[in-house]
Every structure is written in C-alpha cells, then in structure tokens.
Structure 1
Amino acid sequence: MNAATTNLVVSLVAMQVARKIPFEDPQVLTIVRISYVVVQAIVLGTYYFVSSKIKQKNDQTVLKYAFAHFLPQREQSGEQGNLVTTTVRDYDLGETSKLVRGAYIGILMMVFLHGYLKYTQPLFIQALMGLKNLYEAKPVAIHVLGKPAEGDLKRPFKTGGMFGGASDPQTDKAAIDEAEKRKGSKKDE
C-alpha cells in the first residue's frame, strides 16, 4: 500500500477514534495539546538529526536521473531539459528539507485550525499522522533506522501518487543519454 492510501486509511480511523474522545474536558484537551507539541518536536528533531547525519557522511557519489515528463518547475529554475545531476548528499538534504517544510506547513495549518477556528479533533489526528509520516520518511529509514538504500529506498526515490499517475525519475542509461542529448541541443540554440 502506498503512502497516500495509508494516509487516507489512518486519517479515517483516527477521525473515528477522535469522535470518542471527550475534548470538552479541559484535562483531556491539555493532554492532547501536549501530545501534539511533543510529537511535532520529535518529528522536527528527527529531521534535523537526519540532516546532520547526512552532512556528517558527506556522500559525494554522483547521482544522475531524468524525469519521464516535462516538469514546469525545472524550466522556472533555469535548469534545461529534464536531466538532474546531483550528489547523494545534496539529494538527501533536499528530500529532508521537503520533509521539514511539510512539517512546518502542517504546524501552521494546525495553528489556524485549532488556534483560530477552535477545532480540536485535528490535533489528535495530526499527532498520529506526524508519527506515521516520520516512520515512512525515506531519509529517516536510511540514516536513522540503518536500512540499505535499495528497493523502495533506492535514490532517486519514487514519488508514486495515489493512483500511480506521478512521473517517477528514470535512472536507466537510455533515459539519461536522451536527457543529456536534449540538454545539449537546447544549449546550442
């Protein structure tokens, strides 16, 4: 089961459990608030620990990959074609940065939902989702849990969507050669 499907399942189950929690009780609400803050601190602390481990390892192995489809953000960033050349260190730091950004966005949403709109159930749900996302984070699996970078953890990571519609990076020699050819022809123009 992919991450999007498990997110949906965990969210639905957590919503059903959250309905049974008496959030009107100030003690229960305080415990849920403290739990949410602790989980977010653990998540952010783990991501910063992963970043320091990546910097400590300083793996300068070159990583080349191509995207199957045109991505508009590549053109805006000034990168020609769909070829990406980076190092394992930079790739892992970029992926960890995306995870940190996602955690901060979740915290900001929770500040709005709970602080401004006074919703309480999302605190409980997001605490569970934070732990689930931390466990499923690929840089955490590699650098904290010590799993080898093979299969689903092989770089570049696959980004498969809920229905498999996302464009995954291609690492085969033919795709990289084609992307280099396109990149070279765009430089000539």
Structure 2
Amino acid sequence: MNSAVQSLVISLGVMQVARKIPFDDPDVLLYTRIGYVGVQAVVLAIYYYISMSIKKKNDQTVLKYVDSPNAMTQEPGQLVTTTVRDYDLSEVSKLLRSVYMGFAMMGFLHLYMKYTQPLFMQAVMGLKGLYDAKPVQVHLLGQKAEGDLKRPWKAAPGMFGAAAGPQTDNAAVTEAEKRIGGASKKDD
C-alpha cells in the first residue's frame, strides 16, 4: 500500500476514534493539547538530531541530478550539482518548514476556529510523517541509501499515480550540462 493510501486509511481511522473522545471535558482537552505539543516537540527534536548527524558525517560526495521541470512552464528541469550533506540538509529543512506550517495551521484551527479533533489527528499523523520521512529512514533508522532511498529522493506518489521526480540518469544530466554550456556560449 503506498504512503498516500496508507495516510488516508490511518486518518479515517483516527477520525473515527476522535469522534468517540469527549473533547468538551477540560481534562481531555488539556491532555490532547499536551499530546499534540509533545509530538511536535519530539518531531522537531528528531529533525534537529538528524541535521546534527548529517553535519557530523559531512559527506562531501558530489550529487548531480536534473530537477523535475515546473509543470506551469515549458522549460526543462534545471541541473543541480550539490553534495550529499547539503542535499540531506535541504531535505530536512523542507521537513522542518512543513512542521512549522502544520503548527501554524493547527494554531489557527484550534485557537481561532475552536476545532479540537484536528489536534488529536495531527498528533497521530505527525508520528506517521516522521516515520515516512526519507532522512529519518536513512540517518536515524540506519537504512541503506539504495532503491527508494537512493538520492535524490523522489516525492511520494500521490493517490492516483507516481510523482515526477528528479532525473539522475547520465543522459539527462549530460543534456542539462549541454544546455548550460550552450547558454554560456550564447552569452559570450
């Protein structure tokens, strides 16, 4: 079962459980808030630990790939040349931004709109998102960077199909290098 379907099944199950919880009880509401903030603190701490681990390893292996093209334009993807260290740190940074955005959305939904069930749901889904994150699988769980975990990491496929990911084959990289070389020759 792919990750999107698994997330849907888990969220539907958590919604059914959340319906049975009496959130109008102040004690239950307090524990739900504590649970949500606790999960978010654990997620942030793990991402911080992973970023420190990446910096400590300092893997300077060169990584070249062609980024997936923008669907809104006709331009081909851009050539990206980076190191494994910088790539992994940028991926952890993306994960941190998603945690902060989720925290802001939950703040709006709970504090302004007075919804409580999403707190419970996001606490559970935060743990699932942590487990699904590729940097967590590689740097914390110790899985080899092979197969689906080979860098650059492809985005998780959606509900209805595969996601377009970066191209790592030599032909795509060589073609992107030629485009860059041709552009610099035109500028001269």
**Taking every aligned residue pair, what percent have the same amino acid on both sides?**
62
Q: CA RMSD in A?
A: 1.8
Q: Give the gaps of 5 or more residues in structure 1.
A: none
Question: How high is the TM-score relative to the length of structure 2?
Answer: 0.91
Q: Which of 155, 160, 182 matches 2:179? A: 182
Match of 1:8 in 2: 8
Check if 1:104 corresponds to 2:100: yes
Question: How high is the TM-score relative to the length of structure 1?
Answer: 0.91
Secondary structure of the residue aligned to 2:81 is strand
Q: Which of 109, 124, 127 matches 2:120? A: 124
Distance 2:37 2:118 in 1: 13
Q: Deviations over 1:52-95 (max 9, x none)?
A: 0000000000000113534679x9xxxx9621110000000000
Q: Give the gaps of 5 or more residues in structure 2.
A: none
1:126 and 1:81, CA in 2 relative to 1: closer, same or farther beyond 3 A?
Answer: closer
1:70 and 1:117, CA in 2 relative to 1: closer, same or farther beyond 3 A?
Answer: closer
Following TM superposition, by how much is the alpha carbon of 1:5 offset from its aligned partner in structure 2, in angstroms?
2.3
Distance 2:59 2:72 in 1: 29
Secondary structure of the residue aligned to 2:105 is helix
| 8 Å CA contact 2:67, 2:77 repeated in 1 | no
What one-letter code is carried by the residue in structure 1 that aligns with 2:90? Answer: G
Distance 2:121 2:68 in 1: 35
Following TM superposition, by how much is the alpha carbon of 1:31 offset from its aligned partner in structure 2, in angstroms?
0.9
